[in-house]
Amino acid sequence: MLWLTMEGPVDAVVIGARGGIGEAFTEALAQAESVRSVYATSRDARWAQGSSSHPKVERALLDISDETSLSAFADGLARAERAPRVVLNCSGLLHDGELRPERTWRELNAEHMARSFAVNAIGPALAIKHLVKAVPRRQDALFITLSARVGSITDNRLGGWYSYRASKAAQNMIVKTASIEAANRYPKLIICAMHPGTVATELSEPFTKRLARGHVVFSPEESCRHLCEVIGGLTPSDSGALFAWDGARIPW
């Protein structure tokens, strides 16, 4: 894990830490000796007000689709003198109540599409805006956002899932564009998107029963372990790329 080799105390932020991969990443970070603190965030106010069993972990309220929430959270980190050197965005939206992945363009809905973009594309962009600005320019730092293979335009052979595919493709472009800007201003900052594989979470649960025989479904802990191995091998030259859970680069 890259944060194991970072010099000095490392403060980390996990966006979408309430469950699934976010919870697994929070645990992995908290166990690292180099990590001083982990801010585990969620838009669930009741969960955020609760306490963590780990002394390094502090829960916080954060809605990645709300810029006011992001700005307030970043201001709180600044007041606490906790500039995050590791930011892991594990939030994502595939379905939510009436919102379901579209099987045909006839099912497209402007409100649902806007909601997908708010969480999957605009949110990560605003997280970069508000959280990366505090990163020390000459220190190793990491911004990882969970994307998806279905966001690859080149890899799209099945169609469908218009909103999710398009919003993840937009997220990938944001990662690439931000990495170009960071190369000059933050030469040791790595910004990458990662595909965690199919993971047994609330996001994927309605669809895993229809997967082809032999399709591997990871537990959140397994996916986190694979992603940590990939993260551990990253260098600044990898910034701006989309990686799969096995370390393979996914084409845009």
Are 88 and 12 spatial neighbours (Cβ–Cβ below 8 Å)?
yes
Q: For residue range 129-180, what is the model confidence (pLDDT) as tens digits?
A: 999 988 888 889 999 999 999 999 999 999 999 999 999 999 999 999 999 9
| Amino acid 19: pLDDT | 80
Q: For residue range 16-66, what is the model confidence (pLDDT) as tens digits?
A: 999 899 999 999 999 999 999 999 999 999 999 998 889 999 999 999 999
If you average pLDDT over residues 82-89, what whole number do you get? 95
Residues 6+ apart with CB under 8 A from 10: 3, 32, 34, 35, 36, 85, 86
Closest among 60, 250, 91 to 155, alpha carbons compared? 250
If you average pLDDT over residues 182-199, what whole number do you get? 94
pLDDT at 214 over 60: no
For the chain, give the mean pLDDT. Answer: 91
Closest among 151, 163, 167, 152 to 108, alpha carbons compared? 163
Q: Which domains, from first to last, does the chain contain?
A: 2-244 (3.40.50.720)
Are 88 and 24 spatial neighbours (Cβ–Cβ below 8 Å)?
no
| Amino acid 1: pLDDT | 56
If you average pLDDT over residues 59-76, what whole number do you get? 96
| Amino acid 118: pLDDT | 97
Strand spans (E) along the chain: 10-15, 35-42, 57-61, 86-89, 141-146, 189-195, 242-244
pLDDT at 207 over 60: no
From CA 78, how far away is CA 61, in angstroms rounded? Answer: 16
Task: Find the length of the chain.
Answer: 252
Confidence of residue 8 (pLDDT cuts 50, 70, 90): confident
| Amino acid 6: pLDDT | 81
